[in-house]
Amino acid sequence: MVRAADSILKKMMRISETAPRPRGNHDVLDRNNRRATKSGWQKEDNKFRAKGNSLKKESPPCAKEETAKAKRPRIGLAMSAGGARGLAHVGMIQVLEENEIKIDCVAGTSMGAYVGACWSRGHNGKSLERIALSHQGRYGPWELMDLAWPFRRGLVLGNKVEKSLRKEIGDINFNQLSRPFAVSATRFDNLAPTIFAEGDVASATRASCSMPGICVPAIRDEVEYIDGGVTDPLAIKALHTLGVDKIIACCALRDPRHKRLHLTTKRLKCSKLCTFAKFLNRKLNPFAKGNVYDIVMRAVEAAQHRVLERDLLEADVVIRPSTTRLRWYAFHEPEQYVMAGRRAAESRLDAIKALVDEPANKRRKS
């Protein structure tokens, strides 16, 4: 009996599964609604395409910006030493800003470190020129000189230089700047190149600006430092620590080849001076040719030239202001240096724009 009942139940289930489904009014209405909706979508889509539009999915604006940023090369700017000639960096920066050339990170040595610190703090090119002009005139540079009497380790202490920088940028650390910044200095005890990218900015910049023989070595964290231009005159080593794809280098140091021509012209002019004037200049001016500070600076330039020629090969674009006829200590005449920097940057503007437009993954020139 049980088996017969199971057999009858299975047959009834098969019949119910194969039987046609009754078609009610609600099924007909649902099918008609789906057809009408699909037809409406097709009509709207045809109208949309007829206007030249496409249903292609667009990337969100934020994704486009991230993609463009990823393709854009990371541009680094290296600014050299050079004393007052380093004020040419101000004119170069003005040209970059006027042409909307974006610089991602900066490294500087000596005067290049001073200018780079102010620029990375937020000062624009016009503000940098204002700072330079604040020390113009015959007695302007004396505002930065605190004599280190007796002159046993240098002419000036350098405290006023640091004080003037703090007046412009404040007591800030490197991580508070508007762009990544690095400073190159030289340890006095072992003459090892040192790169500052952390801690107090003003003290690091002062250490980088301590010209040997002119400034007393600066003390930072109980270590004495002298000018970074001795070991890294172009700040290329410092710039490498920030991670860059492309390098723009502004070199305000004199080209020795141009310097020889300048010395020949200068000797012709000096030969026309009276013997007494030349005697006074040689005896009373410590910076006159052949005197102590001229010897010191020429020795430093000789060491810088060897390193400089090597480091210039690592830059993709080199800007070299014509500063051969300009004196390294003439801080009271800043306009001529600023104009020299502007002219040099304008002459290399096409190369700079082409560099910025290159893809980031293109191998940097070595």
Q: How far is CA 255 from CA 144, 260, 298, 302, in A?
A: 28, 9, 13, 11
Fold of 75-255+312-357: Cytosolic phospholipase A2 catalytic domain (3.40.1090)
Task: Please state the separation of Cα 66 from the chain's center in Å.
Answer: 21
> 216 falls in which pLDDT band (50, 70, 90)?
very high
pTM of the model: 0.74
- Helix, strand, or coil here: 362? coil
CA pseudo-torsion sign 192, 300, 114, 245: negative
Q: What pLDDT, on a 0 to 100 scale, did the predictor assign at position 140?
A: 73
> 329 falls in which pLDDT band (50, 70, 90)?
confident
Q: Which residues pair with 195 in a beta bridge?
A: 184
- CB atoms near residue 315 (< 10 Å): 21
> 261 falls in which pLDDT band (50, 70, 90)?
very low
DSSP H/E element including 280: helix 275-284
Q: How much is the mean pLDDT over the chain?
A: 80
Token representation of residue 281: 């200049």
pLDDT in tens, 164-200: 999 999 999 999 999 999 999 999 999 999 999 999 9
Give the domain ranges of the chain: 75-255+312-357
- Helices 201-208, 159-169: axis angle to 10 degrees equals 140
- Helix, strand, or coil here: 148? coil
Amino acid at 15: I
Q: Tokens 């974006």 label which residue? A: 102
pLDDT in tens, 38-68: 455 555 556 545 555 444 445 455 444 444 4
> 26 falls in which pLDDT band (50, 70, 90)?
very low
Counting every residue written for the chain, the total comes to 366
Provide, rounded to the nearest whole percent, the portion of the chain with pLDDT above 70: 69
- CB atoms near residue 272 (< 10 Å): 6
